[in-house]
């Protein structure tokens, strides 16, 4: 039973992807219908997995000694992320019915989305590092193809290429780590690795740990690999909500959390994770406050919020990171889809051209404000509880300087959240827009997410049961409280008070921004730096540029001449013979 469920959560969306890839674009209504049906079924199947959580391997496909067994383990962490991917995927597909209405090539769009959902569930459910890498790269491909969905727009194509190269570069670290584990343990199985990681020599474990950190940072758009995410905003907005806010970018956090027990003892690793998280959280917030593009603002805030999760893993609070992941997935999907509704109605992404939309789009305004409250970390929506828990754990187990920067980041988050809402929904209308409120399918997707933003923190106790019940290697790092315990814990912690004061200060600072007008000249330099991604752009340019250069050099080997290709084959035969002669 469980095994069929695990396999169907992966293969049902893939089946849908296949059907939609083969479907005719002349029947868009049918495509919308089929895609939604498959997405909803996947979401329901993932929910069915919840009571079946186990730490045992339920599916194991023998694939020979080289590839190891292809195993799948639906433990707490996996199932939790499967549900997030499948349910938010389902809502994003429903949202797309209105958002993508009348667009061309829906078959390609929906098949890639469903392919992505299946890859994401496979990535979290598998317990083979090789398959993990495989699904990881499939997600990167879907992300690339969907960013470049409008493939007649050079910006979209460039953004997709950049995202692909950056995440692939990180994927090399993941593959290297998997191969090292295999060369020492003879298996790709993650459970075995977690059990016997201490038997690896220290240098090998260090290479693995930092390789995985690079992979995770590239995937989760963390400093210094973050600059692909703003470029990824050329994708259709439901894609930004699903892939670049709620699910795929969480893969890096998942990876760190999954392997935390094995790497925690590696000298310098936890510090490195904390540094990456703090830098991303703080710099992301600074960049968000200076951005004027609605989706870019949200992208920077995603970098910042993912930084909080990475920071939480770094200080050893795996539970807090997953709890914030859940909150963030829900409220950020809500914000992105709300932004999608606004952009769809207004036709521009520039916040300076919006304003005064609140009266014309009351529904979208209301749900967007709920999401913003959670993003800013105001009581008592889900973002508040999880962010406070992260900060509290950070104060208790992490370095003080990191905590101070994180709290400052929380203040900045409050400021840019308020700025965003104000610029979009209030103030005077800059332009006369003939806008209408969100249509039915968009509301269908937005309403559950808004509700979720209000209530998912009540699931804290359930989540801790889920995680503690099936993760034997993580038990000592979980610090998982029950719901009531969490409420008392957070409300009485001094960290909470500090954070609330700073958040309030952030809100006030933006509200009375006129008082700081004289400071704006002094702020010009940091603003310019933020606009230039703090100079990290050069690193990305180096990576992307050198990859493309290597590609054009390798292109020389593709002469297109049959004779040269035949010479290559002959060279292969000679190499095999040489191995036979000198090898034996």
Partner 1 sequence: MFNEMNVLMLGILGLFAVGLYALLAVRNLIKIVVALQILVKGAIMAFILAGKINGHMQTAQSVALTVIVADTMVAVIGLALAVQVKRRLGTLDVNELTSLRG
Partner 2 sequence: MYLINILLAAGVVYCAVRAVIAKRLLASALWLAGTSAIVAMVLYNLGARELAVIELSVGAGLVTILFVFAISIAGEEGMGERTNIPRPVVWIAVLVFLFLLGEQVLPHIIPIPGGWDLESPFTFALVLWERRSLDVMLQIVMIVAGVVSALGLLAPAMAPQAVKKAGQAAGHKNVAQTAAGDTAENSRRTTAAAGEVQG
Nearer to partner 1, 51 or 560 (CB): 560
Rounded Cα gap, residues 476 and 359, in angstroms: 51
Strand ranges in 198-330 using DSSP code E only, listed in sequence order:
none
Sequence-distant (≥ 6) Cβ neighbours of residue 116 within 8 angstroms: 89, 139, 142, 143, 146, 242, 243, 247, 248
What letters, b where the CB count within 10 A reaches 16 and e where it falls short, cover 267-285? Answer: eebbeebbbbbbbbbbbbb
Rounded Cα gap, residues 13 and 5, in angstroms: 13
- Picked from partner 1, partner 2, none, the partner binding residue 557 (CB below 5 to 8 A depending on kind) is partner 1
Q: What is the largest CA-CA distance in the chain?
A: 82
Nearer to partner 1, 517 or 556 (CB): 556
Nearer to partner 1, 265 or 570 (CB): 570
Q: Give min distance, CB of 563 to partner 2, in A.
A: 4
Q: Do 35 and 113 form a contact (C-beta atoms < 8 A)?
A: yes
- Picked from partner 2, partner 1, none, the partner binding residue 577 (CB below 5 to 8 A depending on kind) is partner 2
Nearer to partner 2, 186 or 572 (CB): 572
Q: Give min distance, CB of 65 to partner 2, in A.
A: 23
Binding mask 523-562 for partner 1 (x = CB under 8 A): -------------------------------xxxxxxxxx
What letters, b where the CB count within 10 A reaches 16 and e where it falls short, cover 437-457? Answer: ebeebbbbbbebbbebbbebb
Strand 70-72 to 59-61 pairing: antiparallel
- Picked from partner 1, partner 2, none, the partner binding residue 556 (CB below 5 to 8 A depending on kind) is partner 1
Residues in the chain: 584
- Picked from partner 1, partner 2, none, the partner binding residue 571 (CB below 5 to 8 A depending on kind) is partner 2
- Picked from partner 1, partner 2, none, the partner binding residue 581 (CB below 5 to 8 A depending on kind) is partner 2
Selected binder of partner 1 within 475, 484, 488, 567 (CB under 8 A):
567
Nearer to partner 1, 199 or 555 (CB): 555
DSSP 348: -
Nearer to partner 1, 61 or 576 (CB): 576
Using alpha carbons, select from 281, 337, 256 the residue that is nearest to residue 81. Answer: 256
Q: Give min distance, CB of 571 to partner 1, in A.
A: 11
Beta bridge partners of 293: 350
Q: Give min distance, CB of 543 to partner 1, in A.
A: 22
Structure tokens at 378: 């105001």
- Picked from partner 2, partner 1, none, the partner binding residue 558 (CB below 5 to 8 A depending on kind) is partner 1
By CB under 8 A, how many residues form the interface with partner 1?
13
Nearer to partner 1, 455 or 577 (CB): 577
- Picked from partner 1, partner 2, none, the partner binding residue 525 (CB below 5 to 8 A depending on kind) is none
Q: Give min distance, CB of 568 to partner 2, in A.
A: 10
Residue ranges binding partner 2 (CB under 8 A): 559, 561, 563-564, 567, 570-571, 573-574, 577-578, 580-581
Nearer to partner 2, 488 or 567 (CB): 567
- Picked from partner 1, partner 2, none, the partner binding residue 523 (CB below 5 to 8 A depending on kind) is none
DSSP 380: T
DSSP 60: E
**Site stretch for partner 1 (CB under 8 A), options 170-178, 262-270, 535-543, 565-573:** 565-573
Structure tokens at 567: 């010479």
Contacts 24+ apart (CB under 8 A), 342-347: 342/294, 342/368, 342/424, 343/237, 343/294, 343/295, 344/98, 344/99, 344/237, 344/442, 345/433, 345/435, 345/436, 345/437, 345/438, 346/433, 346/435, 347/433
CA distances from residue 396 to 153, 447, 493 in whole angstroms, order as listed: 49, 37, 10
Rounded Cα gap, residues 216 and 229, in angstroms: 14
Structure tokens at 89: 């995927």
Is 517 near partner 1 (CB under 8 A)?
no
Q: Give min distance, CB of 340 to partner 1, in A.
A: 39
Beta bridge partners of 70: 61
- Picked from partner 1, partner 2, none, the partner binding residue 528 (CB below 5 to 8 A depending on kind) is none
Nearer to partner 2, 525 or 580 (CB): 580
Nearer to partner 2, 102 or 560 (CB): 560
Q: Give min distance, CB of 565 to partner 1, in A.
A: 9
Q: Do 480 and 467 form a contact (C-beta atoms < 8 A)?
A: yes
Q: Give min distance, CB of 570 to partner 2, in A.
A: 5
Which chain residues interact with partner 1 by CB under 8 A? Answer: 554-563, 566-567, 570
């Amino acid at each position: 039973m469980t095994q069929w469920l695990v396999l169907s959560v992966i293969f049902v969306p893939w089946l849908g992807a296949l059907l939609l890839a083969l479907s005719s674009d002349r029947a868009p209504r049918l495509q919308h219908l089929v895609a939604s049906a498959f997405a909803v079924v996947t979401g329901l199947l993932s929910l069915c997995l919840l009571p079946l959580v186990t730490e045992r391997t339920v599916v194991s496909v023998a694939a020979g000694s080289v590839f190891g067994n292809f195993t799948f383990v639906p433990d707490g962490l996996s199932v939790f992320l499967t549900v997030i991917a499948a349910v938010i995927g389902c809502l994003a597909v429903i949202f797309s019915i209105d958002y993508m209405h009348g667009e061309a090539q829906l078959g390609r769009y929906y098949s890639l989305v469903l392919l992505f959902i299946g890859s994401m569930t496979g990535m979290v459910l598998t317990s083979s590092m090789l398959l993990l890498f495989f699904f990881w790269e499939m997600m990167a491909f879907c992300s690339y193809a969907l960013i470049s969905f409008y493939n007649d727009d050079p910006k979209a194509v460039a953004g997709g290429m950049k995202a692909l190269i950056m995440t692939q570069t990180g994927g090399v670290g993941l593959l290297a780590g998997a191969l090292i584990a295999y060369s020492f343990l003879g298996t790709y199985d993650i459970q075995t690795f977690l059990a016997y990681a201490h038997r690896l020599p220290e240098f090998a474990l260090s290479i693995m740990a930092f390789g995985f950190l690079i992979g995770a940072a590239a995937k989760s758009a963390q400093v210094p690999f973050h600059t692909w995410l703003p470029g990824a905003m050329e994708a259709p907005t439901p894609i930004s909500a699903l892939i670049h806010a709620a699910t795929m970018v969480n893969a890096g956090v998942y990876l760190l959390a999954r392997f935390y027990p094995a790497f925690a003892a590696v000298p310098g690793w936890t510090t490195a994770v904390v540094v990456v998280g703090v830098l991303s959280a703080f710099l992301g917030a600074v960049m968000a406050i200076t951005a004027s593009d609605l989706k870019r603002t949200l992208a920077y805030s995603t970098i910042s919020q993912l930084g909080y999760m990475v920071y939480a893993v770094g200080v050893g609070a795996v539970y807090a990171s997953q709890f914030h992941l859940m909150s963030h997935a829900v409220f950020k999907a809500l914000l992105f889809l709300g932004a999608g509704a606004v952009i769809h109605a207004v036709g521009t992404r520039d916040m300076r051209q919006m304003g005064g939309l609140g009266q014309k789009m009351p529904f979208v305004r209301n749900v967007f404000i709920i999401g913003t409250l959670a993003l800013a970390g105001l009581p008592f929506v889900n973002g508040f509880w999880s962010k406070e828990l992260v900060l509290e754990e950070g104060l208790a187990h992490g370095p003080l300087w990191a905590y101070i920067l994180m709290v400052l980041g929380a203040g900045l988050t409050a400021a840019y959240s308020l700025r965003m809402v104000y610029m979009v929904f209030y103030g005077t209308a800059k332009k006369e827009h003939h806008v209408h409120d969100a249509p039915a399918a968009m509301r269908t997707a937005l309403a559950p997410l808004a509700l979720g933003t209000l209530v998912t923190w009540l699931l804290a106790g359930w989540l801790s049961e889920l995680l503690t019940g099936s993760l034997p290697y993580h038990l000592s790092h979980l610090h998982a409280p029950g719901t009531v315990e969490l409420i008392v814990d957070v409300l009485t912690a001094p960290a909470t008070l500090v954070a609330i004061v700073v958040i309030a200060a952030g809100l006030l600072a933006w509200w009375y921004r006129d008082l700081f007008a004289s400071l704006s000249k002094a702020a010009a330099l940091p603003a310019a730096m933020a606009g230039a991604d703090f100079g990290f752009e050069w690193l990305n340019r180096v990576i992307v540029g050198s990859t493309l250069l290597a590609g054009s050099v390798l292109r020389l080997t593709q002469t297109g001449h049959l004779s040269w290709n035949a010479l290559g084959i002959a060279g292969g035969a000679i190499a095999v013979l040489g191995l036979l002669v000198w090898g034996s």
